[in-house]
Structure 1
Amino acid sequence: MIAVNDPSPRGAARGPRLRPVDASHAATPSALTHLLISGAAGDSCGMSLDSGIIATSAPPAAPRDSRLRPFQRVGPYRLLARLGRGAQGEVWKAVRGDARSHVVALKILNQGLSIHPRRLAQFRREAERGARLAGPSLLQVVDAGEADGCFYMAMPYVEAATLHDVIHERRVRRMGEPALPVHPLVAMADAPYYVEAARALARAARALDHVHVHRVAHRDVKPANILLERRRPFGVYLCDLGLGRDLDLATSEQMRDGAGTPMYMSPERLLKAPADEVLSDVYSMGVTLFETLTLGRLFETIRDVPPPALASLLARARPRRPRAVDPSLPDCFEAVILKATARDPDARFRSAAELASALERALPEARRELGLVGPPPRPRFLTPRPHRSPADVRAEVR
């Protein structure tokens, strides 16, 4: 049995030889723990909760020692510190060659998964998709390959926290307990937090629209897959296309595979019904916006529900109004959330760009309602510079 607790108050023939880090060398957990390893916040093969997998086929255990260690070489990279480990593999801070200026986040596929053709093909598709989707607020895959049976992909390394961590620590702070300073947003007063968080989600929605324009559905939009830079004015990155689908290639059966994180999935996807994947992503961004601004969940607490029944229950559950969870939330933000999370897909914003525009239009009104004065900070849209061309990466991961 499982419980979803409402936290409102608070094809290679041979697998790679990976070597996980010793406990004494473990790096402090970072945003990339959630961001790059799908299994850290939901496995790509089954429906999942934030705490991990609830329905998936477990790969066979690795038959031999598979530890990665600091300073070990993986292809052209030298490992520095492990950032996270999950169901799909490990993520390391690494440098290319001996050049300290080429610091990357290196995702390495789990040894047990690389012997499964389906999982290996998915890893390669994720790398290829990430290589061609370059744009503001997206972490592009800048390198990918295989070395001695070790499959990897590299992305720019960003000093950031996930939105998931920010929300969690603000819940802790609201309970009156000491919160970890994972990001400046954690300690911010409520009024500026509403505005800064809404501005960040508008940028994430712009990035999602860029993905859609390139005919890719994200299919796993949630706080754990949004990165916030720790330096003002908080660069924002939408991450992890591990569950993504190419809209022009995927079959209708593939689109209804049920993979994702249930608490953020649209009703039509939860029921595995025919769905407009763009509008489903808009819904997921709306749920993320709800949780970010209210620190609560869209639905009341759901307890003791067996996994097979969870999707159907969530699909039919009555969502809460944002101001019922947080009465201090500005009205203009509630209106945006309600439209983005409409049960009827036709009642939602028609694109992620429309959602972003609605949030941007609401910002001045929210500032007036909250009594904030002075000019807002200038937005910063960053595209980390790759050290290899996307064309080279696409050719290598095929």
Structure 2
Amino acid sequence: MNGESGFNFGRVALEFGYITPEQLEHALEVQRERAAESGAAPKLGEVLVELGYMTRSQVIEVVRHQAGHGGRPVIENYEILGKVGVGAMGAVYKARQISLNRIVALKILPPSLAEDENYIARFLREAKLAAKLSHENIIYVIDVGESHGVYYYAMEFVEGRTLKEIVDENGPLPEKEIVRVALQVAKALDHAYSYGIVHRDVKPANVMITKEGTVKLCDFGLACHLGITTGTTKTVIAGTPNYIAPEQIRDDEVDIRADIYALGGTMFYMATAQPPFTGGTNALVMTKHLFERPRSPRSLAPSISRYLDAIILKCLRKDPNERFQTPGELIRALERVATRRYSSRAVRPVLRRYRRRR
């Protein structure tokens, strides 16, 4: 932020009533001292936040006002073309990456998360790790960082619809399509598993179906957390916890089996057009994830096979040790459904184990 833009920033912050003239003068003095020491002046907004005079969300509001973009964020090296969606984890924009002249999807974290230093540290760490993933069933990460106090996450731009949108509009999917979609999501998880990465937020809204029919899992590195206190630990989960594994609710150590649980819930949703558990509050839904046995999908969707029903229920077991242990195990089971390479003898042991351990 150069001297002129810094002056304008301070003027707008004063107009908004965020700071006093004395606070602005102090921040400008600190900014000048830092510039003399290092040869580069820090952004005035960053100095004001560091001094405790402004919050990050206030800085964002000032920057947006300066830009005159009607509330659109200002991200260096990106031209915002329009908003394509909004969710608990922030707004998603169609944007052009100026340096490479390519279209991307740009997710902007909301100010409420941007002010959480612990979340931001994990977000940056995990998003950079997720950028290593390269698989046809994963929406790949292009860039992650911060610009003018705004944290962003640039991804491959995909023309298509989410699985949630498709099911909400058309109702339950036929078994063949359930298996096709689940197989591709499982393959995405298997690739992530090979890198030791856990998604933590597999759900229909994070599964994209492209115009060509390819399934893509998105939001790796954006795993989110719902306000629940367990002992001395507070976990924050954005959105409705319809697909969250019991161990995530307990704030236990989470591994790939939590994603397998969530994929089981997503398959349940594809088969029935509803999540495994519903309730009037997030707390009630989480309680059911912890203690209540899920219904058989076949009780709501009699057209699905007993074998697919058993696969879904195995994914949804409370104890991670009783689920499929890796995405590869789940892939092999789903492939048997896809090719009808199973018999009633293969179904019965799975059902017996589920009934015995419920």
TM-score under structure 2 length normalisation: 0.67
Selected match of 1:270 from 208, 228, 249: 249
Q: Deviations over 1:176-222 (max 9, x none)?
A: xxxxxxxxxxxxxx6xx321231111110111121122112211111
CA contact (8 A) 2:316 2:323 kept: yes
Q: Deviations over 1:125-180 (max 9, x none)?
A: 24312212222311221123444444333211100111111111123xx8xxxxxx
Q: How far apart, in 1, do the equivalents of 2:177 and 2:303 lie?
A: 15
Matched, 1:223 2:204: yes
Query: For 1:80, what is the secondary structure of its paired residue?
Result: strand
Aligned residue pairs total 279
Q: Give the 5 Å matches for 1:70-85.
A: 74-85=75-86
- Which residue does the alignment assign to 2:144? 144
Q: How far apart, in 1, do the equivalents of 2:177 and 2:84 lie?
A: 27
When structure 1 is superposed on structure 2, of 89-98 and 255-264 the one drifting more is: 255-264
Question: What CA RMSD, in Å, does the superposition of the two structures yield over aligned residues?
Answer: 3.5
Selected match of 1:200 from 181, 187, 193: 181
Q: How far apart, in 2, do the equivalents of 1:71 and 1:341 lie?
A: 40
User: Judging changes above 3 Å, is the alpha-carbon distance between structure 1 residues 213 and 254 closer, same or farther for their aligned structure 2 residues?
Assistant: farther
- Which residue does the alignment assign to 2:135? 135
- Which residue does the alignment assign to 1:360? 335
Q: How far apart, in 1, do the equivalents of 2:257 and 2:85 lie?
A: 31
CA contact (8 A) 1:349 1:355 kept: yes
Matched, 1:343 2:321: no
Q: Give the 5 Å matches for 1:85-164.
A: 85-97=86-98, 102-111=102-111, 113-164=113-164
User: Judging changes above 3 Å, is the alpha-carbon distance between structure 1 residues 310 and 143 closer, same or farther for their aligned structure 2 residues?
Assistant: closer
Q: How far apart, in 1, do the equivalents of 2:222 and 2:298 lie?
A: 32
User: Judging changes above 3 Å, is the alpha-carbon distance between structure 1 residues 147 and 302 closer, same or farther for their aligned structure 2 residues?
Assistant: closer
Q: How far apart, in 2, do the equivalents of 1:138 and 1:315 lie?
A: 29
Q: Give the 5 Å matches for 1:4-23.
A: none
Query: For 2:64, what is the secondary structure of its paired residue?
Result: coil
Q: How far apart, in 2, do the equivalents of 1:229 and 1:330 lie?
A: 27
Please tell me whether Structure 1 or Structure 2 has the larger radius of gyration of its CA atoms: 2
Q: Give the 5 Å matches for 1:237-252.
A: 237-244=216-223
**Structure with higher helix content:** 2
Q: How far apart, in 1, do the equivalents of 2:123 and 2:246 lie?
A: 27
Task: Specify every segment of 5 or more residues in structure 1 that has no aligned partner in the other structure, as ranges.
Answer: 1-13, 18-58, 175-189, 246-252, 368-398
Task: Specify every segment of 5 or more residues in structure 2 that has no aligned partner in the other structure, as ranges.
Answer: 1-5, 10-55, 225-230, 343-358
- Which residue does the alignment assign to 2:64? 66
Q: How far apart are 1:69 and its partner, in Å?
A: 5.2
Letter matched to residue 203 of structure 1: Q
Q: How far apart, in 2, do the equivalents of 1:111 and 1:308 lie?
A: 24
Q: How far apart are 1:111 and its partner, in Å?
A: 4.5
Q: How far apart, in 2, do the equivalents of 1:76 and 1:308 lie?
A: 41
CA contact (8 A) 1:129 1:241 kept: no
Q: How far apart, in 1, do the equivalents of 2:96 and 2:247 lie?
A: 43
- Which residue does the alignment assign to 1:385? none
What percent of counterpart residues are identical? Answer: 33
Letter matched to residue 328 of structure 1: S
- Which residue does the alignment assign to 2:259? 281
